Amino acid sequence: MKTCNKCGVEKPYTEFFKDKSRSDGFQTKCKQCDKISIKAYFEKNPDYNKQRGQNNKKYFQEKAKQRHQSKKLSYWIVYMLPNCIPSPYTKPYVGKTNNPSYRMTHHKYKGRDTTGWIELHRFDTDAEALAKEAEYHALGYAGKCEKIGPCRNTGRSKHK
Q: Could you give the 3-state DSSP secondary structure of residue 22?
A: coil
Least distance in Å: CB of 31 to Zn ion?
8
Residue type at 159 in one-letter notation: H
User: What is the distance of C-alpha 66 from the center of its chain?
Assistant: 12
CB of 34 to Zn ion, least distance (A): 8
Q: Which is nearer to Zn ion, 7 or 118 (CB)?
A: 7
Region of 26-34, 62-70, 83-91, 141-149 interacting with Zn ion (CB under 5 A): 26-34
Residue 7 makes contact with Zn ion by CB under 5 A: yes
Binding flag, residue 33, Zn ion (CB under 5 A)? yes
Within 31-81, strands assigned E span 76-81
Q: What are phi and psi of 150, to 5 degrees?
A: -65, 145
Residue (24 or 62) nearer to Zn ion, CB: 24
30 interacts with Zn ion by CB under 5 A: yes
Distances (CA, A) of 135 to 22, 95, 146, 157: 71, 11, 15, 15
List contacts with Zn ion (CB under 5 A): 4, 6-7, 30, 33
